[in-house]
Structure 1
Amino acid sequence: MLAERLSLSPCAILSFDRGGPTPLVCVCRFLRLEIYLCHCQCYADDAKLVPSSATDIDPHHIIDTVKHLERHRDWDEFRTVYRTGDGVVVKKIYDPEAALSEALNLAMIRSVTSIPIPELRRVVVDGSTTYLVMECIEGDSLKDRWPHLSLWSRLSVAWTLRGYVAQLRRLRRSVPGTLPGGRCNGPLFTEDGAGPFHSYSDMIAWFNHKLEVSQRMNQAPIHAPRFDSRSPLVFTHQDLCPRNVMLAHDGTLYLIDWEYAGFYPEWFEYTTMLRQTDLPISWRWMVPLIAGWFTNMARCVSNISWALSTGAMM
């Protein structure tokens, strides 16, 4: 796969401009990265370095504040997002590849769609830990608000999210995976992820191998349909659920947590939404409205569930 290597020095912003009215800007100050940008419709063809304007965020203050918050609360290893004041939240990520992917995803979505997302204001690196400094959305998680919404309000939320998914699906690429081309993670991959895949056929072969593993272990019907590449590869959030939707005080719906996002078959959004656990049935009823109907593919994914979990190493 053809790639372009960009070395980002400290105090720089990575900007991608495809001719639209708004440049795609990813703050990468105090960060040294090597980014491999594939040329196959990856929305990063015209990368350039421009001066940084985010001078009001001290990286040392961010690191110290997060460590202070961790010391003065009950330990929760699953909590990685901290509200530090000054209108920002900080997401702490231990995997540099995942941090790069989410930063680029936020920048791309903000540039080429009208989907409301938090503004990425700075990326701070401390050893192997990355801190994404983002705009704080004043509002409530949809997870907390959903039980109290009327049926009409729930339909309105679902219809808005349907529009967001439609925008994402207009972003397409010929090679599956993350924007920077790293390892694929999410509900439809094993705990350790998969790939990176160099072609669509490589990813389909991986899924069909998982199907064969499940069949050998009598965990899937012997004549179960195989995966194929008929569906286009579209940009997919892959973790679209109420906890990742913020309902702002002005009524705007924001999508957050873009770590798993990438270019995957069109049916991915539907099947990953259904694989979320502990969701109210009223939300599950809205999934087809939001992401379309892909019941056949949901059955295909169900056939490989054993191979994605218990048989992940096979």
Structure 2
Amino acid sequence: MPPPQPRLALHDASSVPLPLLCSRDRARACTIDSFAAPLDALNLPAPAPTPACAPPSPLCTPDFLASFPEPERIILHQLGTVLHAGYGTTVRRIRLASGCDIVVKHGPEIRPEEVDAMRFVREHSAVPVPEVYDVRIWDEDVVFIYMEYISGDTFAAVYPTLALDAQRALRTQLASLVHELHALRAPPGALVGCFDPDDAVGDNLDVRLAALVGATRRAKPASTRMTSTRELVAWIRAEYLARARERPALRGAPTAGQPERWWDALYAPRLDPDAPLVFSHGDLHPFNLVVRDGEIVAMLDFGRAGWWPEWLDAHIAASGSPYMQPVTRSNAPSSNV
């Protein structure tokens, strides 16, 4: 394992402006002042007190930003070590001339709003998220995010090697981090699945639903301007029923022509239509968590983050790995886990 890199605090955006934040056309500040009460429905432990934010780092200066390789050079020379590649995204660890390591995430599937989500989490919670240094665009629409490198291994790699007490502590920390994210409630009028309030596309809607019912057609809803969990659940139900009738054998869907009864028995209890919209990671699985010395030191990949019902992260986490079960309602950490 490489030696830990010093944490570099995100620069003050007013002194060293990012060329791009919330969209390809202009920068926007993303703020919210409302914080939620504890999420009793998830039965998660209360998070530890939020520490004071780190002061701006003197290392993140215009000269520091100027030392970053340009996107074209990264592509042409295949710079750095590839940490991940797939689904239209490549993540590279690149060492600068100064000896500092950074991570560059790029690809045609990267959304600029991911930067907004990361900055939002850093500014309004103590959830550990890599600090974004810069965002650049190559070939008109390929986004490059330059961010902090945080050393460690994935939750998936570390968890099986730990003793039972250490596993329990890691699961408890994970549940606490989810609790803290979900304490950030959506502002009035926020669109389901969209962190950017100006984004009416709702691209994230069809991507996350397979983890919930496993039988959506991955179609866009007729109206992408959903503003409540009840609207979302109604659309999921309609998609599920249509899919079940088209392919009755898919994922155990009933063959007796009674998909409504199957929905009511199996899925409706899991999708509370009255659940509040909260800030959610949207892709919470063990490869998006970095662990070092028995603690989660980074939560990665906020490309699907947005305002979702509070049950979404729990269902995605539980479906992705048995190690992630503690963030569900029925498997919260306890003394006998």
Aligned partner of 2:209: which letter? Answer: L
More strand by share: 1
CA 1:170–1:71: 2 relative to 1, 3 Å: closer
| Deviations 1:206-258, CA, capped at 9 Å, x for gaps | 21211321343343533222555211111111211111111135845211111
Shift in Å at residue 73 of structure 1? Answer: 8.6
Aligned partner of 2:298: which letter? Answer: Y
In structure 1, the residue matched to 2:214 is none
| Deviations 1:256-297, CA, capped at 9 Å, x for gaps | 111111111111112112332xx4x4x1xx41x224239xxx
Look up the SS of the partner of 1:80 in the other structure.
strand
CA 1:197–1:204: 2 relative to 1, 3 Å: farther
- Give the distance between the partners of 1:72 and 1:120, measured in 2 at CA: 18
Correspondence 1:1-314 to 2 at 5 A: 28-29=18-19, 32-34=24-26, 54-55=61-62, 56-58=64-66, 61-68=69-76, 70=78, 77-78=86-87, 80-85=90-95, 86-95=100-109, 98-126=110-138, 127-173=140-186, 174=188, 175=190, 176-181=192-197, 182=199, 183-185=202-204, 186-188=207-209, 196-200=224-228, 201-217=230-246, 218=248, 219-220=253-254, 221-223=259-261, 224-225=263-264, 226=268, 229-248=273-292, 251-276=295-320, 279=321, 281=322, 283=323, 286-287=324-325, 289-293=326-330
CA 1:71–1:90: 2 relative to 1, 3 Å: closer
CA 1:38–1:14: 2 relative to 1, 3 Å: closer
- Give the distance between the partners of 1:27 and 1:211, measured in 2 at CA: 45
Q: Structure 1 vs Structure 2: percent identity of aligned residues? A: 21
State the TM-score, normalizing by the size of structure 2: 0.64
- Give the distance between the partners of 2:32 and 2:298, measured in 1 at CA: 29
Contiguous gaps of at least 5 residues in structure 1: 1-11, 16-24, 44-52, 295-314
Count residues with an aligned counterpart: 257
Shift in Å at residue 14 of structure 1? Answer: 6.1
Aligned partner of 1:129: which letter? Answer: V
| Deviations 1:139-193, CA, capped at 9 Å, x for gaps | 2222222221112111111100111111111111153222104424233166576
Shift in Å at residue 199 of structure 1? Answer: 2.0
Contiguous gaps of at least 5 residues in structure 2: 1-10, 36-59, 211-216, 332-337
Structure showing greater relative contact order (alpha-carbon pairs closer than 8 Å, 6 or more residues apart): 2
State the TM-score, normalizing by the size of structure 1: 0.69
Aligned partner of 1:63: which letter? Answer: P
CA 1:207–1:54: 2 relative to 1, 3 Å: farther
- Give the distance between the partners of 1:148 and 1:111, measured in 2 at CA: 33
- Give the distance between the partners of 1:26 and 1:159, measured in 2 at CA: 37
Look up the SS of the partner of 2:308 in the other structure.
strand
RMSD of the TM alignment (CA)?
3.7
* Residues 188 and 272 in structure 1, CA contact (< 8 A), matched pair in contact too: no
Aligned partner of 2:134: which letter? Answer: R
Look up the SS of the partner of 2:260 in the other structure.
coil
Aligned partner of 1:140: which letter? Answer: D
Aligned partner of 1:196: which letter? Answer: T
- Give the distance between the partners of 1:248 and 1:76, measured in 2 at CA: 23
* Residues 105 and 258 in structure 1, CA contact (< 8 A), matched pair in contact too: yes
* Residues 240 and 273 in structure 1, CA contact (< 8 A), matched pair in contact too: yes
- Give the distance between the partners of 2:306 and 2:16, measured in 1 at CA: 17
- Give the distance between the partners of 2:293 and 2:77, measured in 1 at CA: 26
- Give the distance between the partners of 1:58 and 1:38, measured in 2 at CA: 25
* Residues 26 and 104 in structure 1, CA contact (< 8 A), matched pair in contact too: no
* Residues 318 and 327 in structure 2, CA contact (< 8 A), matched pair in contact too: no
